[in-house]
Copies of this chain bind each other. A is one copy, B any other.
Amino acid sequence: MLILSNDEIESLLTMDGAMALLEKAYHAQAAGKATYRPRADLYVPSPAEGGVYAFKSMEGGMADPPVVALRLNSDVIHWEHRGGTLVKDKIPRAPGGQWVGLVLLFSAATGEPLAIFPDGVMQRIRVAATSALAAARMAREDASVLGMLGSGWQAGSHVPAICAVRKIKRVQIFSPTKANRERFAGEMAALTGIECLAVESAEAAAAGSDILVAATNAASPVVKPEWLKPGMFLTCVKDSELGEATIRKCDRVVIHVRRHAPDNYIAGIDEKVSAHDPIDVLSGKTSASEAEPPPFWTANPEMKHLISGKVPGRASRDEITCFINNIGIGLQFAALGAAVLEQARAKGVGRELPTEWFTQTVHP
């Protein structure tokens, strides 16, 4: 049973490698050889001031290699309105001011636990690699200007990921805090060797862009429909960043998976609440039964259909295409995790713990 760190995972996983692994996993999913259990979030009151505790989990796995991953997050959550936008923060309250997200890998051949590691680096790479797999099929071949909304952890992996699949000549970056977008533009220019400009508004980032990426922590829309122009490809790290009017303006939409939102289980509420951020239900503003129905866009094809060639990514130069990277799945962690583990073993990276600490002689 191997314990790995984020640094070790970063040394073992490249963006190109992640894209190839995910592509194989979506093919396996389309062929009925892989599946996932959709994300569910559990909410209980937290003694932390102003906080609600959320335990998030998802699973997925495949027959080849025979690996199943559980990914979990254990977070004290805080929501607030910031500049007219609802923002969700995970408060790092674990010892040393840290966050808690873990991936556990298991063998589908023997059942044994194979590895435990933090989810952060892999999470970042898998989201961006998934967006880039979509961009490779849905963006125009000659797309050269990338508009980027956001300057955080997810934005930082999306810039190199998109640059890996299209010959980007300029990146136009907006995030609300001037210092953040300028720092980020500098970092991305150094990383990619491409011209990266910090711009004054989201609209300016979108203007003239062939690919527009929203990679923010906004729980309300940040892309206006009038910013979309013929031939553009649009993506996001969660559907709430786009909103209905913007999605309706797109000619072709592919979604990551049909399950639009986590199933939320909230102390004091008997019904399951299906919503990305059940803040209104948690705060008593909305009853559970009034919570959102599946949104209109869930009828679109999924990533597995795009990857397996069942649906095209783009049918003409002028189509506005959109990939809604709406929710993660455990299968992504199984695919990347299995490869990271194989490399870690080959290179002697990580800390081995006795497997028998995590197995048992009794039939549970």
Contact = CB atoms under 8 A, between A and B. Distances in A.
How big is chain A's contact interface, by range? 35 or more
Contacts of A109: 46-48, 53, 76, 93
A165 interface: no
Contacts of A73: 364
User: For the complex formed by this chain, how many copies does it contain in all?
Assistant: 2
A235 interface: no
Contact of A37 (B57, B98, B108, B361): B57
Contact of A57 (B57, B123, B124): B57
B351 A99 contact: no
B90 A61 contact: no
A111 B94 contact: yes
B70 A94 contact: no
Given A70-B57, A120-B362, A359-B98, A267 B111 contact: no
A44 B59 CA distance: 12
Interface stretch (A28-36, A184-192, A200-208): A28-36
Contact of A44 (B35, B93, B356, B363): B35
Given A94-B112, A100-B111, A111-B94, A267 B63 contact: yes
B356 A98 contact: yes
Contacts of A363: 90, 92, 99, 120, 152-153
Given A3-B357, A55-B106, A152-B363, A68 B94 contact: no
Nearest to A61: B44
The 7 closest A-B pairs by CB, nearest first: A32-B268, A101-B364, A120-B362, A98-B359, A53-B108, A94-B112, A118-B360
Interface of A: 3, 5-6, 29, 32-38, 40, 42-48, 53, 55, 57, 59-63, 66, 68, 70, 72-76, 90, 92-96, 98-102, 104, 106-113, 116, 118-121, 123-124, 152-153, 263, 265-269, 351, 353, 355-364
10 contacts: A6-B361, A35-B267, A38-B265, A47-B63, A48-B110, A55-B59, A72-B104, A75-B111, A95-B356, A153-B363
